Amino acid sequence: MTRSDDAPGPAPSVTENDLWLMSYYRSSEINGALFFGRVARTIRGPLVVDVTHHFSDEANHASYWTQCIDALDLRPIRQSRSYQDRYMEAVGVPANLMEVMAITQVFEKRVIGQYRLQQRYSGTHPLVRGTIEKIMLDERWHVKYVREALESMAGEYGRDTIEQTLTRYTAADEEVYAATLAEFGERIAFLSETDARHPG
């Protein structure tokens, strides 16, 4: 059974789990904004423009999710610990700008992957879909400028050190994602399955 984009049926209903996911995404974007706000406040040098833009993007993403939840006549569910908190616990606070960029690259890839899974799921509500579409335009730029920033740091930090840092953070990311699945598996596992599951 296929669904034609130009002939939408009735909008899928929003479940408690959908609200939990939107709240989780919102909370994650807020933490991204807070993290990049701190970086933007302290950074010196040419990356200040991009990092400040990045901070404002993540704040906008949190606002898009809040508006999306509000448009569905709902309120965000409070989230305890974010994905970013778990990262910091797993790898420690980044010690320099290269480590900030490296952890960001790994994290942004995870975010894009998660949003792609959400987009692929046929039961995703049109408002959620539209929100992710808007966010993804920025997330693609984040990955791009961060990759370029890391390339530009090869002279200062050494290519090997940057590669090792990325490898270390990628391993931490897999560990954190596995822990997240262990804790919230039933809330997000369906996104990794096929579209066979009936929405709602």
Residue that is written with structure tokens 């059974």 in the block: 1
Burial class (CB in 10 A: 0-12, 13-18, 19+), 103: buried
CB of 19 to Fe ion, least distance (A): 19
With CB under 5 A as the rule, give the number of residues binding Fe ion. Answer: 6
Rule CB under 5 A: say whether 61 interacts with Fe ion.
yes
Report the distance separating Cα 114 and Cα 188, nearest Å: 9
Q: Measured from the CB atom, is 139 or 173 closer to Fe ion?
A: 139
CB of 61 to Fe ion, least distance (A): 4
Burial class (CB in 10 A: 0-12, 13-18, 19+), 3: exposed
Rule CB under 5 A: say whether 110 interacts with Fe ion.
no
Please state, in angstroms and as integers, the Cα–Cα distance from residue 188 to each residue in 61, 164, 180, following that order.
Answer: 20, 30, 9
For Fe ion, the binding residue among 139, 162, 165, 169 (CB under 5 A) is 139
> Other CB atoms closer than 10 Å to residue 74's CB: what's the count?
15
Q: Measured from the CB atom, is 138 or 175 closer to Fe ion?
A: 138
Determine the 3-state secondary structure of 4 from DSSP: coil
Rule CB under 5 A: say whether 51 interacts with Fe ion.
no
Q: Which stretch binds Fe ion (CB under 5 A): 5-13, 16-24, 108-116, 147-155?
A: 108-116
Q: Measured from the CB atom, is 67 or 164 closer to Fe ion?
A: 67
CB of 124 to Fe ion, least distance (A): 17
Two tokens, residue 155: 């002279």
CB of 24 to Fe ion, least distance (A): 13
Q: What's the one-letter identity of residue 78?
A: R
CB of 200 to Fe ion, least distance (A): 27
H or E element that contains 173: helix 159-188
Binding residues for Fe ion, rule: CB under 5 A, are: 29, 58, 61, 108, 139, 142
